[in-house]
């Protein structure tokens, strides 16, 4: 026996959730903006940081050409922690725009360049500047500045004065990216 007949136009099914939203962000900066807004709406609610006084400080660094030569945390990062940050869609958000050799993470982006092989193309100092503040190299980049707090626009009050990643996390991401040689 068949079900009741439907009248009217067929309705499109809603997206299957956050994975469908992230998978839909494909090739344009407009898609990036839309996907970021939708991903934020689809993510579980998080409490804002406790207080500005608890905010991690932005580490001092010196830019020399296309690099930051000295590690921000004063020591080498941990590649395993860096991989976890790159894969984490609530902290790093790297996979919203980039593909990376992290096969267990589906729906990776293609707005930014693939991360595979980046460790063979760039040294640690070059990677560090790109993660800290890519806008120093390309003011029109859609990539966010992960360790900068000045000159930013449209930052929520609870997040003002806080870098996205602290100095140790930056070094962890750099350590992971250096392992990506193929």
Q: Where are the domains of the chain?
A: 58-179
C-alpha 72/C-alpha 146 separation (Å) is: 12
Q: Where are the alpha helices (DSSP H) in 14-108?
A: 18-24, 29-42, 79-87, 94-97
Q: Do 15 and 24 meet the contact criterion of CB atoms below 8 Å apart?
A: yes
pLDDT at 7 over 60: no
Kindly report the pTM of this predicted structure: 0.70
Residues 110-122 as b or e (16 or more Cβ within 10 Å = b): ebbeebeebbeeb
Q: Which helix (H) or strand (E) holds 64?
A: strand 63-64
C-alpha 80/C-alpha 124 separation (Å) is: 16
pLDDT-derived band at 73, boundaries 50, 70, 90: confident
Per-residue pLDDT of 121-164, as tens digits, reads: 999 999 999 999 999 999 999 999 999 988 888 887 877 889 99
Per-residue pLDDT of 31-44, as tens digits, reads: 444 444 434 443 44
Tell me, what's the pLDDT at 152? Answer: 82
Indicate the CATH number for domain 58-179. Answer: 1.10.760.10
Query: Which has more pLDDT, 57 or 20?
Result: 57
């Amino acid at each position: 026996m068949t079900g009741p007949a439907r009248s009217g136009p067929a309705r499109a099914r809603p997206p299957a959730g956050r994975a469908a939203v992230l998978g839909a962000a494909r090739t344009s900066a407009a898609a990036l903006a839309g996907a970021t807004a939708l991903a934020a709406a689809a993510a579980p609610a998080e409490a804002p940081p406790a207080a500005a006084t608890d905010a991690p400080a932005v580490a001092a660094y010196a830019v020399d050409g296309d690099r930051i030569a000295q590690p921000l945390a004063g020591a080498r990062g941990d590649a395993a922690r860096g991989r976890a940050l790159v894969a984490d869609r609530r902290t790093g958000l790297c996979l919203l725009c980039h593909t990376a050799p992290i096969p267990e993470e589906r729906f990776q982006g293609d707005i930014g360049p693939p991360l595979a092989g980046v460790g063979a193309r760039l040294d640690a100092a070059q990677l560090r500047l790109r993660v800290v503040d890519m806008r120093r190299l390309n003011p029109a980049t859609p990539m966010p500045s992960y360790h900068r707090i000045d000159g930013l626009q449209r930052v929520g009050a609870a997040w003002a004065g806080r870098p996205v990643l602290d100095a140790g996390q930056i070094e962890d991401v750099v350590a992971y990216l250096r392992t990506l040689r193929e």
